[in-house]
Homo-oligomer: A and B are copies of this chain.
Amino acid sequence: MPKRGYHHGNLKQALVEAALKLIEEKGPAGFTVAEAAKLAGVTPAAVYRHFHGREALIAEVALQGHRIFGDLLEHAYANGKPSALAAFEATGRAYLAFARKFPGHYMAMFESGLSIQAHPELGAAADRSRAVLERAAEALSENIPADRRPPAAMFASHVWAMSHGVVELFARGAPGAQAPFPPEDLLEAGIGIYLRGLGLIKPDD
């Protein structure tokens, strides 16, 4: 608890964490600079020593989120190897795990409406995550007969889309009331069926 009077020590990260907490609680739209500052035990003006403004703070949260997300996917992928199939499935699961474990980051990344143009670092960080997913898809696709092999980027997108959809629709208090199934099971089953459709899982397995 190194709150040594006048100087905070590591205010920048403290503000990021305060923002994170607030975003979790009220969403990216409900988050305010003043509250984040208060939560970090500091005057609102102090925020401007470390960020250009409100949006820059949210962008930093999103950026850290993308980094964590990328790492998580990477580890999942690496641990899933050497089986391409297991590696691919692991990355799918990692998606949901991330959304669950880092809801604030997730919201800042996907629900804050940050413009990618205005924050190029974000785009770069997001590309990295996507690259992991695509690498996993690429490895998998070598098991598909070449003549009926869809582009790896395409089925990476499919898995990403289904994962995202499950998170948004069923893993939160969202619109469809409560989930009809545990989101993890739903996603697992969905990806399983999808992979069977690709001919990567035997029909009787």
Contacts and interface: CB of A to CB of B under 8 A. Distances in A.
A71 interface: no
Interface string A140-161: 0000000000100111011011
A109 B127 CA distance: 29
A126 B175 contact: yes
- Per DSSP, chain A at the interface is helix
- Most interface-central of A123, A163, A176 (chain B CB within 10 A): A176
Copies of this chain in its oligomeric complex: 2
Interface in A167-205: 168-170, 173-177, 180-181, 186-187, 189-190, 192-199, 203
Interface in A2-22: none
Interface in A100-150: 109-111, 113-116, 122-123, 126-127, 130, 150
22 contacts: A27-B113, A109-B175, A111-B111, A116-B175, A126-B175, A126-B176, A126-B177, A130-B176, A155-B190, A157-B166, A157-B170, A157-B190, A158-B162, A158-B193, A161-B166, A162-B162, A164-B165, A164-B168, A164-B169, A193-B194, A194-B197, A197-B197
